[in-house]
């Protein structure tokens, strides 16, 4: 039993050497041309997928609001009080800046959000995880911010993404907040990518 066709192999031996070289030479330019087209087209495909707003732009979200009602769940473990699904409502200004444009004035109806709070009763450390959705420009920006509070001042980081008409939008940056008896004043500032 042979692993190759002896007859085909012996016929190939009698074929002139130049014919094989010509066949290979025809294939090389075709492969080079195909590779060049793929390499040249790749950046343009990426640009089309990213859309016209692919560059990073300035992003700022300013909100005035406060927690409302009791949290959804409360429990204590190992000296830490856990509050979950604590509603947060807009009670004052609510503005969004994208790039150098004037602020987009938003309505409280455009916002939904809640906080998950961990309070260490031994150290007094307070950590907030904020989950929020902002309806704007026919889509929604979903943001999560993790903040640490001390003496009524909060600092943290946020990330988010767009859904609906804002699919593909990404936001990220820092959060600064001040808590007073009149309410909370929150600023999220950073960059947005993919804004339409």
What mean pLDDT value characterizes the chain?
A: 83
The per-residue b/e assignment along 91-112, b for 16 or more CB within 10 angstroms, e otherwise, is eeebebbbeeeeeeebeeebbb
Using CA atoms, how far apart are residues 49 and 21, in angstroms rounded to an integer? 42
Predicted confidence at residue 42, as pLDDT, reads: 46
Between 20 and 57, name the one with better pLDDT.
Answer: 57
* Block residue for tokens 């990213």: 50
Which residues make beta-bridge pairs with 158? Answer: 145, 173
Using CA atoms, how far apart are residues 4 and 1, in angstroms rounded to an integer? 9
Q: Where are the domains of the chain?
A: 6-50, 56-193
Between 15 and 134, name the one with better pLDDT.
Answer: 134
Predicted confidence at residue 104, as pLDDT, reads: 93
Predicted confidence at residue 146, as pLDDT, reads: 98
Class of CATH domain 56-193:
mainly beta
Instruction: Identify the sign of the CA torsion 76, 79, 84, 88.
Output: positive
Q: Quick one: pLDDT band at residue 45, thresholds 50, 70, 90?
A: very low
Is the distance from CB of 29 to CB of 36 less than 8 angstroms? no
Give me the mean pLDDT over the 26-47 stretch.
51
Predicted confidence at residue 18, as pLDDT, reads: 55
Quick: pLDDT tens for 133-189: 999 999 999 999 999 999 999 999 999 999 999 999 999 999 999 999 989 999 999
Quick: pLDDT tens for 61-117: 999 999 999 999 999 999 999 999 999 999 999 999 999 888 999 999 999 999 999
Quick: pLDDT tens for 122-145: 999 999 999 999 999 999 999 999
Q: The tokens of 138 are what?
A: 């026919």
Instruction: Identify the sign of the CA torsion 117, 118, 123, 125.
Output: negative
């Amino acid at each position: 039993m042979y692993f190759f066709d002896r007859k085909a192999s012996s016929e190939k031996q009698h074929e002139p050497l130049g014919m094989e070289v010509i066949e290979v030479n025809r294939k090389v330019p075709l492969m080079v041309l195909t590779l060049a087209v793929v390499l040249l087209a790749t950046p343009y495909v990426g640009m089309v997928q990213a859309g016209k707003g692919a560059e990073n732009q300035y992003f700022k979200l300013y909100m005035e609001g406060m927690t409302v009602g009791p949290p959804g769940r409360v429990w204590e473990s190992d000296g830490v009080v856990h509050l979950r699904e604590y509603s947060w409502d807009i009670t004052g200004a609510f503005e969004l800046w994208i790039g150098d444009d004037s602020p987009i004035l938003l309505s409280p109806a455009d916002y939904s959000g809640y906080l998950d709070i961990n309070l260490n009763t031994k150290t007094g450390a307070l950590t907030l995880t904020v989950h929020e959705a902002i309806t704007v420009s026919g889509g929604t920006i979903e943001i999560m911010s993790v903040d640490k509070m001390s003496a009524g001042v909060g600092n943290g980081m946020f990330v988010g993404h767009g859904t609906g008409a804002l699919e593909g939008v990404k936001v990220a940056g820092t959060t600064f907040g001040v808590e007073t008896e009149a309410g909370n004043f929150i600023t999220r500032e950073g960059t947005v990518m993919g804004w339409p």
